[in-house]
Amino acid sequence: QKSHRRKRSRSVEDDEEGHLICQSGDVLSARYEIVATLGEGAFGKVVECIDHKAEDRHVAVKIVKNVARYSEAAHAEIAVLEDLNALDPSNTYRCVRMLEWFEYRGHVCIVFELLGLSTYDFIKENGFLPFRLDHIRQMAYQICTSVNCEYVSFLLSSILFVEFANYICYLAVLHLNKLTHTDLKPENIVFVTSDYVEEYNPKLKCEERTLKNPDIKVVDFGSATYDDEYHSTLVSTRHYRAPEVILALGWSQPCDVWSIGCILIEYYLGFTLFPTHDSREHLAMMERILGPLPNHMIKKTRKRNYFRNDQLNWDKHCSAGRYVSRRCKPLKEFMTCHDSDHESLFDLLQKMLEYDPAKRITLEEALKHPFFFPLKRQKRVLSPEADTDASSPKKNKRC
């Protein structure tokens, strides 16, 4: 019985790891013809398919491994996606749309709308060059928009901001319904379409891709957790993990806000702010960039081995210590330009990367931050027809 919980009996169509063995031309459930493999991970694989029962539209099908723990996680994700679909029947929110799900030869299969590249893959294919600041602003707004019903009502009732109804994103649904994503990262923020224009950048002496449309959706709800559900001690991918998670102090929606702060600065820099896989080194990087950890968090944590005399137990002169000192610097020193737009972004980032989750900016507060004022002014003066091409705004001032 114990082994049954760990792993299902394998089909002859499975490989040793539990992946379904499939190729282009195979048809799932007498409906979905596989065109290409889009990606593969610990959970299974994602394939692009033609839906022969829906006018041959192209969809993405997540084929989960035939392994019990992944199947159970898939069913939990399906439950969240069904809740989101019910809350958003008109598909207004910025979360990926589940079209249906089914089981095929022991594999849970989830059918999604087909989207473009993830924001991580776009950066990678663009030589890890950062996004334009105006695109960061638009993506940030879409990720963050509308945390509580009162603010949503304000946006929807305002003539000036009526177009922002189209930007009500997944976090409005998640956080309003006491749900935390817990795994926000550039890989899980995906462009609706990743079309781009490519131009030579004489300053960098290389070809540079610029997005035509920065509209995004958030994917992968496999780790999303309701407030009244069991909270695993360890959540989030390492580089985007909040300090309260590392210190095992408990977590809720503010850990998503920390992750968003890490994502936005990665969009700005082209590389991750905390490049480490070790918790003590991660905390040392935080202190180098953001200053000392609050004393009350140090006193409260069970992770006593990270500290000595209420100070981080970290040798700045060892090899790892020298790496952190060389690689990291105070947050504001990462600014590539000191105009008002860049200053405003870094002020927002500082508030998102607040150590104490109780003091960390909420997304409702973030949406009122001056960083978003230019976006609101643009929406006030532009008609919908004039705002269709996101590749056309004036270039940011180069520093």
Chain centre to alpha carbon of residue 28: 29
Q: Of the candidates 91, 40, 36, which has an alpha carbon nearest to the alpha carbon of residue 63?
A: 40
| Interior angle at CA 318, CA 316 and CA 322, nearest 5 | 60
Active-site residue identified among 51, 134, 183, 215: 183
Q: Is 26 among the catalytic positions?
A: no
Measured CA to CA, the distance from residue 396 to residue 104 in angstroms comes to 50
3 state DSSP class of 175: helix
Distances (CA, A) of 81 to 51, 86, 112: 20, 9, 10
Kindly tell me the burial class for residue 357, based on how many C-beta atoms sit within 10 Å of its own C-beta (0-12, 13-18, 19 or more): buried
Q: Which residues fall within 8 angstroms of residue 282, CB to CB, at 6 or more apart? A: 238, 241, 246, 274, 276
Is 300 marked as a binding-site residue? no
Those residues whose C-beta lies under 8 Å from the C-beta of residue 260, and which sit 6 or more positions away, are 140, 143, 144, 184, 352, 363
Residue 51, strand partner residues = 32, 57
Indicate the burial class of 182 (C-beta count within 10 angstroms; 0-12, 13-18, 19 or more): buried
Query: Do the strands 196-201 and 225-226 form a parallel or antiparallel pair, or are they unpaired?
Result: unpaired
Q: How far apart are CA 271 and CA 267, in angstroms?
A: 8
- Give dist(CA 196, CA 212) in Å, integer: 5
Q: How many CB atoms lie within 10 A of CB 358?
A: 7
Nearest to 284 by CA among 260, 306, 251: 306
Amino acid at 242: A
> Annotated catalytic sites, by residue?
183
Return binding residues.
Answer: 62
Residue ranges of the annotated binding site for ATP are: 62
